[in-house]
Structures are given as C-alpha cells and as structure tokens.
Structure 1
C-alpha cells in the first residue's frame, strides 16, 4: 500500500493542499516582448480533496510499548468492554493499551492523521459508552495507574487508576481525597466532570483538589495545565467533562489528612417516601458541612419506599446527635464508626459489570416530596438517588471552575437496571421521570451522568460556562480530533 506522502511525491504535489488544472497557456511568448500585448489568461481551478490515509495499525503497534488489540486478536472482545454491557454492541477498530505518555501521543497522532474517532478509557464508566468509539481507536489507560504520594504532600495519580486503588494508597499515607463511591470508577472521568462524593460537603469536589494535569492535546503535544500555565485549559478540566479537550494521562492533587468517619443507613417502610423525603430535605438543609447524606426513593407499583444513608466527618456521638434531628422513624438503622478507608468501602457497592439506563437533574432547592412520590409510583425497578450538595461545594462560584452547579441543593440521578431486552422500556421510564423533574428541578443535569437523550444537553450540563468551554475547545482542538456525539458543541 503506497502511503500518502509517497503518492504526493509521485504526483509532484508534496506539500500542496490543492491540485490546479488548466494553469498553462498555449501562448508562450514572453510577456512584454516587442510586438506583443499582454492580457490576463483565463484559467480554471479545480480543488481536489485528498482523503486521509487509512490507519496503519501495524505501524502503531510497532511504535507503542503497550499492546495493540485488533478484531480477531485474542482478548480483543474482552479488553474493549466497559462497565455497562448495554454498549457491548459498539466495536472499536482497535484498542491500544498504553504504558507510557509517548504511547498516548502516538495514538492521538494516528487518529488526527487518519481522521478516525478516538476516545480514552479510564474506568470505563461513561454512562453513554463514549469510551468505546465505534470504528475508532480506544485508548486504554488502565496501565497508567500509579498512585504516588510525594514529599511535598501532593499525590500524583495516573489517569487509569480506579477509586479503590486511589483510596487504598492514600490511606497508607494517612491521606484522603473527596471522590466518588463506586470502586471501579476511574479518577479521570470523575475529576473531569467535577466529582461528587460522600466527602464533598466537607472538602469540596474532586476537581477542587486538583493542582495540575498532564494532557495530550489534539496536536500530540504534552501540556502541563495548572493555575500557573495553560490556565484556560486547567479551568476547563475541572468540570468540563471527559474527552473534550485531550487525553489526560496524569493528575496532581492536594490531598487532605484522612479523617475518622461515622456512617449510617436507615430504611423506611413502603408508603413513607413523601414524609421521609420532606423531613430529610429540611434536615440536610440545616446540617453542618461535615454531614453528607443521600436519599434513595425506589419506585413501586403502589407505594414507593425509601432509604437514607450518609457519612459524617467526626465521631459516632456527633453523628447520633445529628440523626436525632431527623423527625421520621426508620424501620431499621445501622450506625458505625469507620476509619477513612473502611468508610469508603462502606459505600462501595459491587465491582461487577451492570446493565443500566440513567439520567440526572440538579435540584436548586428542596422539592415537593408529594410530586416526587407521584413520579415514582407505578415504576417498579426504577430508583431516584438524591445526593446532598452545598457546604464546601458552594464555597466556589459557578464560574470559578467549569462545574456550574455550585449553588445546587442536591443532584438527582434517575437509575434503572435493564438488560438488552428491557433497555427500550427502561430508557422510556428514565426519560419520563427526568422530564417530570423539570417542574421541580429545572433543566440542568450532571455531565458525569451523561445521557444521550437529554434535551438541550449542553446547556443542561454546562450552563453559563458553555460559551467559554466552546472557545477553549475550539482553541485546543480546532479540527475536532476528540469529537463524539456529546462533545462540547462548536459555534
């Protein structure tokens, strides 16, 4: 197969962007010669677009120190999989399991030259499956997972690290980060979308602890973005969503001393959702930032049930005093003191792959509990997870980072397990509740719960920060190397 540069040389066109036809004249008399007149010679110009060369996968295989998997290779159908089996039907053209920053650079260079879709996969928890680019190059960062606490007190974390590994290594050094609960979620996607978690009301979002990030941009450059340099890009990486501005290979965070925690779970009987939600909203609105809590309303044919859980940065006695202020009685209650790592494990849940459909809204304030109960009636199998915000999250303004929902009261995730045969019905159920929530929550949403069916999704996820994000995306990726269906839209 002749490569593109050799073809252009053979055609006498190396370095040219267009082919000009009919540019010569039959009159070869020198202009201005005695006895001659000069006049413009009409010419015809034809622009020929030279298509990009197809990806040379074997060349990429030779260039990287990691492993390249192609369809038909052993393990290809395993390594391309992500957390949600509902996207297993989506197949990349290749998967590059990178071991170095240079490997990632080589992948970006090939994608830019060949115009093939490219996406990074950290933990593989993209709700819409965007870390599996159809017929494109999936950049597997799972080997870039080192967590190193440094002498200056910062921690350097590879973009392929999962939360369970981050928490384990930080705990060894007596450190913590405010981050999510699912153990197999990647630190990269979580941070880039903001990073809501059980310590957020006390310590802020995950992105609020970010000091710097190493990014491979669309032109394959290595950029160290921080508050001191490439400041626009650094702003965008803190809440502007994963995959929009390049591939982050490493993060530097400012961790905090690991605190002692007290955790709790309370279950309530069917039919009590309205009373419990009303009481919970009043209670958490008045709670100190050391207390984080969520409420899960579980849909049912007749009478939705609910569960309240939470985490307190402090002692068991302090937590029991706070719980006394919740004016509803549970049918069961568990309250435990935990060290930091065990506290994170308490909220971890299962690491196994799970088929689901989900969406979100952000609640600007307490919502009418009776309306929410009505939304969840007649919907068995559907959960509404309302996570409290406020506290340290609201200490920053909506435009201080790219995360716009600083003043929100809570996030609301609509979540339904569904296998392939039931996915269409689940999508309908989730969308109906999402749209019904606009009456009490407006039209905002959380980009880390990205939903391909979300109406006006760019405004929902980015709000007033969208124009600045668009300009930054146009600057760092003018040719849309990192395009995907819900990438930052261009003007």
Structure 2
C-alpha cells in the first residue's frame, strides 16, 4: 500500500506528470478577463465540436438542462465536445482566462450546476462510444444510463446504476450511484475500474487504484471536484430477468411499513432490493413499496416483507420482465420528458419507530396543507457496506437509508424548498448527512462528505488551484 492509498496526495505528487509548469503559471495569472474580451476564435480553432456563444442561434437550446427552471441560466459559452481533445482545449482556455468551468453529462443536477451563469460549460454528451471487452466496458463520459444498459444487454451484461434513463453515467458515478442493484453489487462508483480526466490545473490523468489513486478516490463520490471526465471503464455484471413487485399499504400503516421494511430488508438475500415511498396529495397520504428481485423470487420476498410489516396490503402486483424491460418499468419509461423537480435528501444512521414517525408526520402535514410531495426511502445496506467509508469519497457506508424528498412540478418552487428544508430540521440529529447526487441550495459540503471532506478539499485545491470548477457543492 502506498502513502496515497492512506491519505490525500501531497501537492507535489498530484501535479507530477500532469503539467506542473502550466498549473504553477495559473497561480500567478492576472485577474479574470471579461467575457467580451476573450479570444473565442482562439478556442474555436482547435475544436472538433461546437463552440456556442450567447449570440449564436443554437446557444439557447445548448444551455438547456433537464429542468426548465434553469433555462434562465447564462453560461458565458457552451463547448459541445465530440472528442477528448475538445475537453482539453476548453479547460486550457478556461485556465488561461480564469473562466469558471462546469461539466455536463446528463444535465440532471437539482441545483442546475451545469448551466452555471458565467461559466464555460463543457458538454461531453458527444463522447458516447461504448466498447465491451470481456467483462469490462469503456464508455465516453457523455453516455446516458438507458443507452449503456441497452448496449450491454445485447451481450448479457449490465451495470449497477440508477433508474432515470436520461441521467449521465459519469455524473451518477461521480456522486456515488445508488440504484436497484446496490445491495447486490454496491454503488456505481464501486464498479469503476479506471477513468480519464482532464485536470483544471493542467494536463490529463489516467486514474485507477494503481495509477493516481488519490484522484481515483475522489472520482468515486466526490462529484466533479477533481476534473472533467472524458472516459470511464467499469466492471460489468450479468443481466437477468427480474420480478418487479409493488405493494400498497393503508395510510395508517405507514410507520409500520417503514419499520417493518427496515427490520426485514437486511435479512433478505442481497439480490433483493426494495424501497418505500410515502407520498402526500391534497388530504391524502399514500404508502407503497417497490421490490426488485431475480425472476421468480418476487412472491416470496413480498410475503416476507408483508409479514414483517404485520398489516394487510391494500394492493399487490407482480410482473416478470426481461432485464431491459424491467429497467424501463422501474424508470417509468425509456425516456423522460423535461420537468421541474425540487428535491433534497437526508442520510439516516438508523430507521427506528421514532424516526419513521417523524417521516410520516412530515408527509402528513404536507398533505393537510393541501400540497403534494413525497419521500423515497432507499436502502444503504448489503454490498454498499463492503467498502470502507474512507475508501472512496462517498462516505455513507454504515448507514440505514437515504431519504429523497421530492416535489414534482410545484406551483411554488419556494414553498416546495421550504417544505424540504423544514423536513431536514424536523429530523434533527436523526439525519447525519445528505447524498451528493441530490445536492440542494444552501447545504454545506460537510453534509455530503462527512469525514471525507478534508481529504477531498485538499485534493480538489491541488488539482484546481484557481478553483474554476462549479459542481453545485462548494468545497
């Protein structure tokens, strides 16, 4: 084991081999140039992709994210990369002129990080190659979840990834990557074998557990704080047919459902995954579970969790689907239209009756106010716990669950945000942190990275000495 496996890379080690001279020069560069004085022609010349400025007709669509509420964002320009050299050129330009940088792979950030006003957006969605070699797959940093699932499924392979089909695989990985295979195979970032990254302080690096291990550590859960990815290599897993079971419970059984689920799931085989949704509509609270199991095992799993809850379900449905059809069913379709969501998260160390009661009270109060909103309770057990909390930037390895608070298409985004903020307060010390892929305004970095923050901050400032990267989380 090297010293970099045990702690943050020292500054001299981080810079060695990735353009130390360029990075050192950046530290003494004069103040940032204004946008109207920048040499855009000089950037456009080496690009294979497009450079789009606010005066260009395609700029408006190029800066759009999944959520329309960020359409008012005003990046200084957008580079639509079609080759890794485009990313290198854009980063070098930003470094030279002290322009903030924002990377975009899927554009699903809840805080609109990849449409940051005043930043040079590097859109990597044109880097979309997928190459399967044995059980390893190498993908361009712009590949979306549904695309890679469909391509791998042709060869009977898959990846442990999230459910939304249009989310970028790179962004999912950089935040950790929770999904329906996490109990069996761990997070998406746990399947990462290596990656190529362009460093804002100068140069590029091919990272893995053996090469640039400090950077590799940061890429697994540290959002985009270490640079802009151009490619990633993952170890794949077998694809398989699945049972998808949905179970409804009476509203007055919601606390029992949460506590029964929390007791039962850790005893279930790791191939079984389940979550709980507690939702509010005007005057109504709904409680349901979704279970994903290997084909043929759904009925037994449903019986097990129902016995643990000790209440009769109001409904139970079960379908057996092939791997890709199951992914589409879990996501609600193979494509998702643009929509507005206000969301946030909490991480629970334990889910006992008192915590379950608080969660249900929060949703019930929302319902009584006449507004809608819901919470998804996702597990953090199984293979997630096989990795030490300090072995990757993702710190939540000894915890019970994440809570994802969501309001879809709110009439008042401010009211929705206030409800989620109040939920955090109501949970108090029961919430020990938050999930970086569900970033929200005003939440400090220690909530996302806990004991890993100091190491991540030291590394980020070494590879990004001018602090150009904008990820939605300020280190």
What's the secondary structure of 1:392's corresponding residue?
A: helix
Partner of 2:4: none
2:456 maps to which residue?
Answer: 469
What is the RMSD of the two structures over their aligned residues, measured on CA atoms? 1.9
Structure 2-normalised TM-score? Answer: 0.88
Contact 2:245–2:292 (CA under 8 A) maintained in structure 1: yes
1:425 and 2:415 aligned: yes
The corresponding residue for 1:204 is: 186
Note if contact 1:106-1:220 (Cα within 8 Å) is conserved in structure 2.
Answer: no
Residues 280-319 of structure 1: CA distance to partner in whole angstroms, max 9, x if unpaired? 222223222111111110024555211110211x231x32
1:348 has 2:338 as partner: no
Greater mean alpha carbon deviation, residues 347-356 or residues 98-107: 347-356
Q: 1:52 touches 1:113 (CA, 8 Å); kept in 2?
A: no
* CA separation of 1:301 and 1:275: change in aligned 2, threshold 3 A: farther
- The CA deviation at 1:48 is 12
Q: Secondary structure at the match of 1:437?
A: helix
Structure 2: runs of 5+ lacking an equivalent: 1-24
Q: Does 1:486 align with 2:459?
A: no
Aligned to 1:411: 402
Q: What do the CA deviations read for 1:372-397 (whole angstroms, capped 9, x no partner)?
A: 21111131311111011200110111
CA displacement, residues 332-388 of structure 1 (integer Å, 9 cap, x when unaligned): 222122222122111112511111111101111123322221111131311111011
2:447 aligns to what? Answer: 460
By how many angstroms is 1:49 displaced?
Answer: 5.5
- On the 8 A contact 1:271/1:303 being kept in 2, the answer is no
Counterpart of 1:359?
344
Q: Structure 1 residue 449 and structure 2 residue 432: aligned?
A: no
> Could you say if the C-alpha distance between residues 289 and 189 of structure 1 is closer, same or farther in structure 2, counting changes exceeding 3 Å?
same
CA contact (8 A) 2:279 2:374 kept: yes
Match of 2:163 among 159, 162, 181: 181
Q: 1: CA distance between counterparts of 2:163 and 2:55?
A: 36
**Structure 1 residues 435, 418: closer, same or farther in 2, change over 3 A?**
farther
Of the structure 1 ranges 350-359 and 444-453, higher mean CA displacement relative to structure 2 is found in 350-359
Structure 1: where are the runs of 5+ without partners? Answer: 1-16, 18-46
| Structure 1 CA distance for aligned equivalents of residues 68 and 461 of structure 2 | 33
Shift of 1:182: 0.3
Q: Name the SS of the counterpart of 1:106 in structure 2.
A: helix
TM-score computed with the length of structure 1 as normaliser: 0.85
Among candidates 149, 153, 166, match of residue 148 of structure 2: 166
Q: Is the 8 A contact 1:301 1:377 kept in 2?
A: no
Partner of 2:243 in structure 1? 262
Q: Contact 1:183/1:349 (CA < 8 Å) preserved in 2?
A: no
In the alignment, which of 315, 325, 340 is matched to residue 295 of structure 2?
315
The answer to whether structure 1 residue 396 and structure 2 residue 387 are counterparts is yes
- The whole-number CA distance in structure 2 between the counterparts of 1:51 and 1:218 is 15
Q: 1:97 aligns with which of 67, 71, 80?
A: 80
- Please give the secondary structure, in 1, of the residue aligned with 2:406: strand
Deviation per CA, 1:2-56: give whole Å up to 9, x if none: xxxxxxxxxxxxxxx9xxxxxxxxxxxxxxxxxxxxxxxxxxxxx9956547421
State whether structure 2 residue 49 is matched by structure 1 residue 66: yes
Q: Is the Cα contact below 8 Å between 2:218 and 2:225 reproduced in 1? A: no
Aligned partner (choices 137, 153, 156) of residue 138 of structure 2: 156
Identify the match of residue 38 of structure 2 among 46, 55, 73: 55
| CA distance in 1 between partners of 2:392 and 2:177 (Å) | 12
Work out which of the residue numbers 357, 379, 382 in structure 1 matches 2:373: 382
For residue 249 of structure 1, what is the aligned residue in structure 2?
A: 230
SS in 2 for 1:219: coil
Matches within 5 A, 1:8-23: none
Q: Does 1:79 align with 2:62?
A: yes
Q: Distance in 2 between matches of 1:162 and 1:469?
A: 26
